[in-house]
């Protein structure tokens, strides 16, 4: 399942086999947004919940990860 706002996508994983597909789709949707200043920060909250967000702390064109759990 995926919920999305303008600069933020939240992923809830119910099928672990689809994790990378869901993350790739969410990243692709953020890359389509008109902006030229932010990269994408992927945050793992737990094994079943991830947040992807545009972040000016990440260089444009890059994706970085952080793990909270």
Cβ neighbours, 10 Å, residue 7 = 14
At residue 7, the pLDDT reads: 80
DSSP the chain: -EEEETTEEEEE-S-GGGHHHHHHHHHHHHHTSS-SS-EEEEEEEETTEEEEEEETTS-TT-EEEEE--
- Residue 19 predicted with pLDDT over 60: yes
- How far apart are alpha carbons 69 and 36 in whole angstroms? 30
The tens digit of pLDDT for each residue in 22-65 reads: 999 999 999 998 878 899 999 999 999 999 999 999 999 999 99
- Residue 3 predicted with pLDDT over 90: no
């Amino acid at each position: 399942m995926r919920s999305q706002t303008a600069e933020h996508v939240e992923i809830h994983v119910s099928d672990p086999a689809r994790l990378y597909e869901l993350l790739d789709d969410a990243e692709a949707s953020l890359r389509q947004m008109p902006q030229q200043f932010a990269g994408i920060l992927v945050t793992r909250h737990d094994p079943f919940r991830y947040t992807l967000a545009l972040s000016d702390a990440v260089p444009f064109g890059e994706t970085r990860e952080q793990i909270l759990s």
